[in-house]
Amino acid sequence: MTIAPTLHRYLAAEKIQYAEIPHVLTMSSARTAQACHVSGDRFAKAVVLRHDGGYMLAIVPASHRLNLPDLKEKLGADLVMANETEINRLFADCAHGAVPAIGRCYGLDLIVDDSIRAQPEIYIEAGDHETLLQLTHAQFERLTANAPHGRFSTHS
């Protein structure tokens, strides 16, 4: 597997330029960052949340942990982590756990942590455990335009 078909079509339609970085099989964002010699601060990790009968993505750096109480307060909503079955259903064309940090192509809203938005380049999962996508700051901003943002993560 390479780039998930849904993600690939979306990036092409939006004319988003990116570099593909193949890497050894990894099963976590922290290990992927290490394998690719990428700072975890620049690796956008997607956390799938359930809210108001739907789902959304919280985008945080791989070097951070989501602070769910802070995010709940910011959004004024009841949020819980989605379970594996829900995630697999939402991202059916992705490998288990390889969730791209782009919500729109999967019909999901997202919120972006300010610490990832401050990076000069951003890396995201491509939908498998062997490919990373490198985006410029400007390309990532285009993909997350109009998404709310704020501070809701802490450095691990």
CATH number for the domain that contains residue 133: 3.90.960.10
At residue 25, the pLDDT reads 84
Residues with Cβ within 8 Å of residue 55, at least 6 apart in sequence: 48, 49, 82, 86, 90, 108
Please state, in angstroms and rounded to a whole number, the distance separating the CA atoms of residues 130 and 21.
8
Range of the structural domain that residue 116 is part of? 5-155
At residue 62, the pLDDT reads 94
Model confidence pLDDT, tens digit, residues 104-131: 999 999 999 999 988 999 999 999 989 9
Contact 95, 103 (CB under 8 A): no
90 φ/ψ angles, rounded to the nearest 5 degrees: -65, -35
At residue 126, the pLDDT reads 95
Tokens read off for 82: 């989605």
As a whole number, the mean pLDDT across the chain is 93
At residue 114, the pLDDT reads 95
Q: How many domains does the chain have?
A: 1
